[in-house]
Structure 1
Amino acid sequence: MSLRLSTVILPYRRWHEGGRAAWTRAEQLGFHTAYTYDHLSWRTFRDGPWFGAVPTLTAAAGVTDRLRLGTLVTSPNFRHPVTLAKELISLDDISGGRVTLGIGAGGSGFDATALGQEPWTPRERADRFAEFVPLLDRLLSEDAVSYEGDFYSAHEARNIPGCVQRPRLPFAVAATGPRGMRLAARFGQAWVTTGDPKLFENGTPEQSIQAIRGQAERFDDICAEAGRDMTGLDRVLLTGFTPDRNGPLESLTAFVDFAGRHAELGFTEIVIHWPIPDSPFAAEEKIFEQIAMEAPAQLR
């Protein structure tokens, strides 16, 4: 597979004050997919503007024609499979079948308690995720679903006419542990990683490469155990969370070197954050655009 370049556009700007322009520009620059985070608020952006993922993607679908759109990632932290499926089927229809669902188990951030619940332990998040993904798969693939589980239920949930993409829109499953990787192997059209979070503060780029290589090898083994055909199964790296931070966006050369080293590990898609001044994702917009326009050809 050739290496694709995608971006994440965080939903922190009003639509008519720069929000819309970023999505249309992403299509002009030739990105494969433009994703957004699906959070109620996020880290350093908590006390500023932050808009909903599904309405933002719906608006983006209306002002683009070719660009794929997606979440990176949605989680069970504040979502229910029944209502999420209805929104995704609607978004897939409005976009003409251009939606990818990036999905993960969620974390312990602000979303974890926004509905008034106690934060779930890592084990509880994994247990819920293991039920969430298969149920969502059914809801997006079948006309009517009834289900009674430990965490989620559905009673004659109707989702007619289903997704434009058949049998359903693709899942990009974020996972670093074996349980999540098994879900990616069974239900995913892509596997997503951000690298090893334990290396973010004090690790080195070389240690990060070795850790990601280890993740990729474990995913290979899990797919083999599951009998999963690897043909067409994408591997996605969301950048910005490895020890080199935004170093790959300092120049075209730096990015091509970074992306090339991860392509050698079997990654098929690299995702970079749209620059946000005075944030963890600060970068020179001119260099960002140069990377978008020139890097894919150099990486073929």
Structure 2
Amino acid sequence: MSLRLSTVILPHRRWHEGGRVAWTRAEQLGFHAAYTYDHLSWRSFRDGPWFGAVPTLTAAAAATERMRLGTLVTSPNFRHPVTLAKELISLDDISGGRITLGIGAGGTGFDATALGQEPWTPRERADRFAEFLALLDRLLTEDTVSYEGDFYAAHEARTIPGCVQRPRLPFAVAATGPRGLRLAARYGQAWVTTGDPKLFENGTPDQSLRALRTQAERLADACAEIGRDAGELDKVLLTGFTPDRNEPFRSLDAFVDFAGRHREAGFTEIVVHWPIPGSDFAIDEKVFERIAMEALAQLG
């Protein structure tokens, strides 16, 4: 099974003070895709610089030529399907059809209350996500959409000319629970996971790998329920949130071992964070570049 290697570049640097350089260097290093987080702020970066995902991806699309681009991930926490669809169609056009939408239900972080609302319950987040995704799918595949749901509405919303990619740009649906996996099976061209969060603090790498295999099996079951071949979906692992944290990035050999084990578990794409000194993603830049340029060749 072939494996692709991608990166995620957090939007914490001004474009002309290192931001642009990271995106163009990612393409030079040969990454399959470069993604960015779509948050209003995030964890330890909350009180520092943090820029918007859509303008960042627009600039990245203009600065690169071949590499795929996208969010990892967008959520309904502060977005509406109608306005997001218009932005995605524009991004897909500017990039020449290189955009992937990573999308999930969202969580209880800063995004959940930044607009002044009370945090949604897990049940409401799941309900909203299901409706959001279904409406967004329609908006990106139909010229005109009218819809009245429990949480979202659209009145003769025009999304002409639609995406460059047909029938629409791909969705990479982040999910671990049953409802989310069913949505990934129905709408996704890819499935995204960060592993089992319950194992992050005290789990082991072997436990994490077993949990990831179980998630993939449940995705396959969800696909089977609707008559879809699970092999049609790419399986994407966003690294940095499994019990081994940054251990796979200590050396090229350590990463090759990690990537090989996860390829055997069925993953088709591994996403690594662009190094950020003094953060949870403080990977040695020389090791990072060796991984980008040499790891896939060593995997064979």
Using structure 2 for the length normalisation, give the TM-score: 0.99
**Unpaired runs of 5+ in structure 2?**
none
Q: Please report how far the alpha carbon of residue 220 of structure 1 lies from its aligned counterpart in structure 2 after TM superposition.
A: 1.0
Mapped contact 2:82–2:136 kept (Cα < 8 A): yes
- Give the counterpart letter for 1:131 in structure 2: E
- Give the counterpart letter for 1:187 in structure 2: Y
Q: Please report how far the alpha carbon of residue 66 of structure 1 lies from its aligned counterpart in structure 2 after TM superposition.
A: 0.2
Partner of 2:163: 163
Partner of 2:113: 113
User: How much is the aligned-residue C-alpha RMSD, in angstroms?
Assistant: 0.7
Partner of 1:147: 147
Q: Please report how far the alpha carbon of residue 296 of structure 1 lies from its aligned counterpart in structure 2 after TM superposition.
A: 1.1
Mapped contact 2:219–2:230 kept (Cα < 8 A): no
Q: Please report how far the alpha carbon of residue 297 of structure 1 lies from its aligned counterpart in structure 2 after TM superposition.
A: 1.2
Partner of 2:235: 235
Question: Secondary structure at the residue paired with 1:10?
Answer: coil
Partner of 2:44: 44
Partner of 2:278: 278
What does 1:193-272 align with in structure 2 at a 5 Å threshold? 193-272=193-272
Q: Please report how far the alpha carbon of residue 231 of structure 1 lies from its aligned counterpart in structure 2 after TM superposition.
A: 4.0
Q: Please report how far the alpha carbon of residue 298 of structure 1 lies from its aligned counterpart in structure 2 after TM superposition.
A: 1.6
Q: Please report how far the alpha carbon of residue 7 of structure 1 lies from its aligned counterpart in structure 2 after TM superposition.
A: 0.2
CA displacement 1:2-46 (0-9 Å, x = unmatched): 100000000000000000000000000000000000000000000
Question: Secondary structure at the residue paired with 1:77?
Answer: helix
Q: Please report how far the alpha carbon of residue 101 of structure 1 lies from its aligned counterpart in structure 2 after TM superposition.
A: 0.1
Question: Secondary structure at the residue paired with 2:235?
Answer: strand
Q: Please report how far the alpha carbon of residue 232 of structure 1 lies from its aligned counterpart in structure 2 after TM superposition.
A: 3.2
Question: Secondary structure at the residue paired with 1:50?
Answer: coil
CA distance in 2 between counterparts of 1:199 and 1:68 reads: 31
CA distance in 2 between counterparts of 1:225 and 1:162 reads: 30
CA distance in 2 between counterparts of 1:5 and 1:298 reads: 13
Partner of 1:101: 101
CA distance in 1 between counterparts of 2:259 and 2:216 reads: 15
- Give the counterpart letter for 2:165 in structure 1: Q
Q: Please report how far the alpha carbon of residue 212 of structure 1 lies from its aligned counterpart in structure 2 after TM superposition.
A: 0.8
Q: Please report how far the alpha carbon of residue 230 of structure 1 lies from its aligned counterpart in structure 2 after TM superposition.
A: 2.9
Q: Please report how far the alpha carbon of residue 229 of structure 1 lies from its aligned counterpart in structure 2 after TM superposition.
A: 2.4
Partner of 2:131: 131
- Give the counterpart letter for 2:29 in structure 1: L
CA distance in 2 between counterparts of 1:299 and 1:226 reads: 34
Using structure 1 for the length normalisation, give the TM-score: 0.99
CA distance in 1 between counterparts of 2:162 and 2:183 reads: 22
Q: Please report how far the alpha carbon of residue 226 of structure 1 lies from its aligned counterpart in structure 2 after TM superposition.
A: 1.5
Partner of 1:35: 35
Question: Secondary structure at the residue paired with 2:232?
Answer: coil
Question: Secondary structure at the residue paired with 1:141?
Answer: coil
**Unpaired runs of 5+ in structure 1?**
none
CA distance in 2 between counterparts of 1:157 and 1:245 reads: 43
CA distance in 1 between counterparts of 2:165 and 2:173 reads: 17
Determine what percentage of the aligned residue pairs are the same residue: 85
CA displacement 1:234-280 (0-9 Å, x = unmatched): 00000000000011111110001001111011100000000000001
Provide the aligned length of Structure 1 versus Structure 2: 300
Question: Secondary structure at the residue paired with 1:223?
Answer: helix
- Give the counterpart letter for 1:122 in structure 2: P
- Give the counterpart letter for 1:292 in structure 2: A
Question: Secondary structure at the residue paired with 1:56?
Answer: helix
CA distance in 1 between counterparts of 2:17 and 2:295 reads: 29
CA displacement 1:207-233 (0-9 Å, x = unmatched): 111111111111111111121123431
- Give the counterpart letter for 2:156 in structure 1: E
CA distance in 1 between counterparts of 2:208 and 2:230 reads: 24
Question: Secondary structure at the residue paired with 1:156?
Answer: strand
CA distance in 1 between counterparts of 2:188 and 2:296 reads: 25
CA distance in 1 between counterparts of 2:139 and 2:222 reads: 25
